[in-house]
Each structure stands twice: as structure tokens, then as C-alpha cells.
Amino acid sequence: MYIAEREWAMESLQQVQGVMDLWNPSLWALLKTAASLKELDLRADPRVVAGALSGVPRPADGQRGRLAGLRTIGTLVLRGDDAAHINRLTDILVAHGCKSLSVVNVQLQVDPVFSSRLFPQLSALERLRQSAGSTANIPINVTTSGGIHGFFFVLPPNLPPFAAPFFTDTVKKIASEAKAVFWDIDVAQLPALDTPTEDDRRLISSLTFGRAERVNVSYQDDLPPSNTPAPDPVVLRHLQPDAFPLANELNASSTVAVRHMIEVMPQLKSLYVRARPPSPAGEVLGLLKTMGSDKKLGIVGSSVEWPGEGGVQWGEERDLLPEIGRLSVDPRVPDDPPDIASVAETVAVSVESLIALRGLSSVGVHAWGSTLLTTMDDDTAVRDGIQQEVDTRFPDCFSSWLIWRSGERATCA
């Protein structure tokens, strides 16, 4: 027979230790009978702790509750959307008149970390401290389990008003441990994206991603047409110059975002620009020119608008561009494409210009996106057309062909 079924009572119970899960009816039953619980040294998520303490009878109006003298609530393990459960726990303690917590211990057991979940959790923890702490400054100790492999940071940040130092310190801690950072730009919040608050700027300028090796900048929705400026995550301008001291790879969904990031990534070696819709080739060229001729990049990959018959002409700017080891430029063929011969001509003309760039070991041009390229027969026709054109223009170049369902990659190496 379970203890819960015996209906035993322990009014003198003051300390409980252990790990609690949802299915511990015996412990829950004993907690309900404790008249003056002092130490709850458990390791459990906030939902479980709130559920366990919700069974403790609440006091009548004006009376001291059974949890009024509670000093510790153990370690709260955060695994997901826990803000509501933390707030419920706070409400229970407040109902008992608890103003005696001496510390709040928290373990983040999530990876990757999402700012959209983290920020409400931190706000809820601050409310817990202010509402049930013995003072307004009791420590909130936040630890992580095994490091942070990814930190997804939504822009604009949507910070709580009057964020406490604890809030900023915790975000800084997670930023410092993250091995990969994903800026997730919400284009639906354009006014806030264009005009970051002082709190937004202050937080971003305080962050250093000392362990990050990879950075991704993406938009939650497709970008506007190419003749419309892409939304600018202005707050990224406020990153410290040494915000990413080790990061060497950048994946971005717009050239606007890349311009902000290259300023704070001195070790950048691999750059991928994959906008939706693709950026004009001249825009990507301008981005590379801002990096200067002294920069050396191992890999550059970019999708671009269809350049037309003239192709992608970057070779003439070679002395203004970084050295690039491996280059992939992928023009999107329009929905009403020219004939296959014209596609082959554009690819070959592009290769002819691109192989003039400094430092190249290989260059690829991948025509993609058109209904012209969606069947194997058409793929074969495009391949044969490009092969013939490249063989004619570059008879001494080793050409290998990787057939993709969405198009063709021409590689001259």
C-alpha cells in the first residue's frame, strides 16, 4: 500500500530532499500535511514543484500560511516553456505569505536555447524573487547542463520593461557559452526592427560570443522583392567589434545582415548568402568589395538573381575583392526562362569572368529555380548545353558535372 493511501500526516515535516517527478503521490501527500515547511531541496521542473505545493491548504484571509517560512525550493530545472509554471509557483507562495526564500537555483536543461522562451522565463524568475524572496536581491543562480550548442536570438528582442541586472547577466552567460548563434529576424515587427530601444542596444552591445564558431542570420518570412530594401536588423550595428572573436562561418539571408556581421567576425573564412528571393549579383559583389582585397576567404557561396545574357561579371573587380578559395554563384533562372542555349551561354560567360578572381581553386555556377530545370530530360539538355559551351570556351579545363534535380552545377577546377 502506498503511503498516500495510508493518509499519514507529518505536521512537523520541515525539510524534503531528492528528485521529484510527476508520479510521486507519497511525497505529495506528505507535503500537504506539513505545517511549517522550511527546506524543499528538490531537483524538479517548475510545473512539478508548483503541482506539489498546490496541494498544501491555503490559509484563511489574514492567517499565516504553511509555506510562509519556506527558505528554499531546490533547483528548478527548465526544459521548455516554463514561464507560466514559474508564475504559478510564485502565486502559490504569495498566497501563503512567503517572503523568506534565501536563494533560487535554476538549471537550464535545454539546447538549443531560444530567446523567445528564455526571456519570459527570466522575467518570471525575477518576479519570484521580488515576490517571495527575503530581500529583493537574493541570488538567482543559473547553470547550464553540458554547455550551449545553439542560441536562437529573435530580433527585435522584445525585452521586458525594466529588465533586472540578473536578466542581462544570464543572457550574457548563455551568449558566452554558445557554440553557434542564430539571429532570427521577425520581419512582421518592422517598426521595432528599424528603431531598437535603448534597452535593446544596451543588451546587444554587452554580449560577447566567445565560443561561437558559426553564425546564422535568417528571416522568419521571405524578404520583399529585390527592388525593395531588405529589413535591416539595426540593433546588430551595436555589437562590439570583438563580439565574435572565433567565429569563422557566416550564413545569412540578406546582404544587409552580412554587412553588420562581417564587422564583428575578424576570423571569417566561410561566407554563404542565401536570400529569399535572391539578391542581385551586383549587391553581393558590393558586399565582397567592402571586405577589401587583403581579406582571404576559404569559401563563398551565394544565390543571385538571374543576371541575363551578360552573366555574373565579377572578374573585372578582382583587385578590389578578397582572395577566395572555393566560389559558388547560383543564379536563379526566371519562371519564364530563355531557351536552354541562353541559360548555357549565361553560365559559361559567368564562369569565364569568375575564374579571373584571385586565389580560386574551384568555381561553380548553378542555374536553378525555373520550371525549365524540373525534369530529368531538361536537366540532361541543360547539362549537355552547358558542357558543350564550357568545353568550347575552356578546352584545357577539367569540367565535372553534378546533376541536381533543380539544375546544374558547372565546376572548373
Q: What is the pLDDT of residues 51-68, one digit of tens each?
A: 888 888 888 887 888 888
The predicted structure's pLDDT at residue 111: 87
Which of 69-73, 175-179, 395-399 has the least mean pLDDT? Answer: 395-399
* Block residue for cell numbers 533543380: 406
Which of 128-132, 304-308, 337-341, 346-350 has the least mean pLDDT? Answer: 337-341
Q: For residue 311, is it within any domain?
A: no
pLDDT score of 130 more than 90:
yes
With beta carbons less than 8 A apart as the criterion, state whether 252 and 277 touch: no
**How many other CB atoms are found less than 10 A from the CB of residue 30?**
18
Residue 26 CA to its chain's centroid (Å): 42
Preceding amide of 277 cis, omega within 30: yes
Same-domain check for residues 2 and 139: yes
Same-domain check for residues 162 and 181: yes
Evaluate the CA torsion angle 391, 404, 321, 326 in order and state its sign. Answer: negative
Q: For residue 139, is it within any domain?
A: yes
Q: How far apart are the first and last CA of the chain?
A: 76
pLDDT score of 228 more than 80:
no
**How many other CB atoms are found less than 10 A from the CB of residue 282?**
14
Q: For residue 406, is it within any domain?
A: no
pLDDT score of 383 more than 50:
yes
Q: Which of 216, 243, 277 is the last residue of a domain?
A: 277
- Residues of 382-406 as b/e, b for ≥16 C-beta within 10 angstroms? bbebbbebbeeebeeeeeeeeeeee
Q: Identify the helix (H) or strand (E) that includes residue 388.
A: helix 376-393
The predicted structure's pLDDT at residue 227: 62
Rounded distance between C-alpha atoms, residue 150 and residue 72, angstroms: 31
Same-domain check for residues 103 and 43: yes
Same-domain check for residues 78 and 152: no
Q: Which of 277, 296, 320 is the last residue of a domain?
A: 277
The predicted model gives 332-348 an average pLDDT of 78
pLDDT score of 372 more than 70:
no
Preceding amide of 156 cis, omega within 30: yes
Same-domain check for residues 198 and 142: no
Same-domain check for residues 142 and 1: yes
Same-domain check for residues 137 and 20: yes
Evaluate the CA torsion angle 396, 398, 402, 406 in order and state its sign. Answer: negative
The predicted structure's pLDDT at residue 184: 94
What cell was used for 118? 528564455
Rounded distance between C-alpha atoms, residue 249 and residue 251, angstroms: 7
Rounded distance between C-alpha atoms, residue 88 and residue 82, angstroms: 10
Q: Which residue has the higher pLDDT, 383 or 376?
A: 383
Query: In the chain, what is the greatest distance between 2 CA atoms, to the nearest angstrom?
Result: 93
Same-domain check for residues 7 and 137: yes
Q: For residue 181, is it within any domain?
A: yes
* Non-local CB neighbours of 99 within 8 Å, separated by 6+ positions: 68, 132, 133, 134
What domain range is 69 assigned to?
A: 1-146
Same-domain check for residues 127 and 168: no
Q: For residue 257, is it within any domain?
A: yes
Tell me the pTM. 0.84
Chain segment 174-216, per-residue pLDDT in tens: 999 999 999 999 988 878 888 999 999 999 999 999 999 999 9
CA distances 108 to 81, 84, 113, 159, 411, Å, are 12, 16, 9, 19, 46
With beta carbons less than 8 A apart as the criterion, state whether 58 and 28 touch: no
Q: For residue 383, is it within any domain?
A: no
pLDDT interval class at 371 (50, 70, 90): low
DSSP state, residue 156: S
DSSP state, residue 238: G
With beta carbons less than 8 A apart as the criterion, state whether 141 and 113 touch: no
Rounded distance between C-alpha atoms, residue 50 and residue 253, angstroms: 42
Same-domain check for residues 50 and 70: yes
The predicted structure's pLDDT at residue 2: 46
Query: With left for phi above 0 and alpha for psi between -120 and 50, is residue 362 left, alpha or beta?
Result: beta
| Averaged pLDDT of the chain | 83
Same-domain check for residues 187 and 245: yes
Q: Which residue has the higher pLDDT, 22 or 123?
A: 123
The predicted structure's pLDDT at residue 128: 97
Q: Is 150 exposed, middle or buried (CB count within 10 Å of its CB: 0-12, 13-18, 19+)? A: middle
Cα atoms found within 13 Å of the Cα of residue 378, Cβ hemisphere only? 16
Percentage of the chain exceeding pLDDT 90: 50
Q: For residue 52, is it within any domain?
A: yes
Residue 326 CA to its chain's centroid (Å): 26
Chain segment 305-337, per-residue pLDDT in tens: 999 889 999 999 999 999 999 999 999 888 776
pLDDT score of 131 more than 50:
yes
What cell was used for 85? 509554471
What cell was used for 55? 496541494
Same-domain check for residues 1 and 90: yes
pLDDT interval class at 80 (50, 70, 90): confident
State how many domains the chain has: 2
Amino acid at 150: G
The predicted model gives 277-288 an average pLDDT of 92
Chain segment 141-152, per-residue pLDDT in tens: 999 887 799 999
Q: For residue 263, is it within any domain?
A: yes
Q: Which of 146, 176, 198 is the last residue of a domain?
A: 146
